[in-house]
Amino acid sequence: MCATCGCGDDGATVTAMNARATSRPDVSGHAHPHDHHHDQDHHHGHDHDHDHDHVHTETITLEQKVLAKNDLLAERNREWLAERHILAFNLTSSPGAGKTTLLERTIRDVSRDRPVAVIEGDQETLLDADRITAAGARAVQVNTGAGCHLDAAMVHRALQALEPEPDSILFIENVGNLVCPALFDLGEHSKVVIISVTEGDDKPLKYPHMFAAAGVVIVNKIDLLPYVAFDLEKCCAHVRSMNRGAEILPMSATTGDGSAGWYDWIDTQANSALSLRPVDKT
């Protein structure tokens, strides 16, 4: 069990979509707390106190160790990607906000200019990875079982299976969840948070850590605005109240409205990463 969020830790499955070869080694990167048994033979004929404050302390320590190990692995992923000039984005959202639909459109439009690869994260099934490969991108599927997020160890294994091309864009579609993915660095260049207008416009206030970590916030499904009670201006104000640096992009992944702003943002990130590359003096 994950000490940070309490989700199940059964080991992730990484499936390469070209061969669909599946393996199940222990890749969680999570620490496992030891069982704490009380002596069943002691007598209750006298008053005594049970002080369990140490359990809280151990939980904090364990969480710190889990995140520290993940951050170390994430930095290795980041170095691996940088060496190959691969620009990685970590896509997060609630279930049903439209991450996969956004990726399908993005692959069709962006892959004309540069290679695109995708790491798909879901608890079960290969459905989304099938959609990605049908859209024209190479993909691997990471099934987390009972896990509610991807971690750096899972992404490391997925990178070895996927082997994205140098100078490509890598999209990591995280498990649908706005809580735990905010805590786990995967080695990405930036986090992309997607909210749809079918959700409440107060969602940024309810999940502040995720929106504070975002490099860009996409407000998706704007084609449905006439039919839902969603205040776009209020939602944008909530995002800016906790993250002044994040760009906010209203769009519809289904119709394509507003997608130009999304592609411009990707180009800006690519140009920024390019300017940070060391100059080859040979």
List pLDDT tens digits, range 179-231. 999 999 999 999 999 999 999 999 999 999 999 999 999 999 999 999 999 99
pLDDT of residue 3: 54
Alpha-carbon distance of 206 to 144, in angstroms, equals: 25
What is the average pLDDT across 40-66? 54
pLDDT of residue 277: 63
Say which residue, 164 or 15, is predicted with more confidence: 164
pLDDT digits (tens, 9 = 90+) for 134-152: 999 999 999 999 889 999 9
**Out of 62-66, 95-99, 240-244, which region has the weakest mean confidence (pLDDT)?**
62-66
H/E stretch holding 121: strand 116-122
% of the chain exceeding 70 in pLDDT: 77
130 three-class SS: helix
pLDDT digits (tens, 9 = 90+) for 248-273: 999 999 999 999 999 999 999 999 88
Q: Side-chain half-sphere of 44: how many Cα atoms within 13 Å?
A: 4
Alpha-carbon distance of 36 to 206, in angstroms, equals: 34
pLDDT band at 63 (very low <50, low <70, confident <90, very high): low
Say which residue, 1 or 176, is predicted with more confidence: 176
pLDDT of residue 192: 98
Surface-to-core class of residue 245, CB atoms within 10 Å of its CB (0-12 exposed, 13-18 middle, 19+ buried): exposed
Please tell me the pTM assigned to this model: 0.80
> For the sheet containing 138-143, what is the strand order?
22-23, 13-16, 138-143, 116-122, 169-173, 87-93, 190-196, 216-220, 247-250
pLDDT of residue 39: 47
196 three-class SS: strand
pLDDT digits (tens, 9 = 90+) for 5-23: 656 555 678 888 865 544 4
**Out of 15-29, 32-46, 153-167, 193-207, which region has the weakest mean confidence (pLDDT)?**
32-46
pLDDT of residue 176: 94
Alpha-carbon distance of 159 to 156, in angstroms, equals: 5
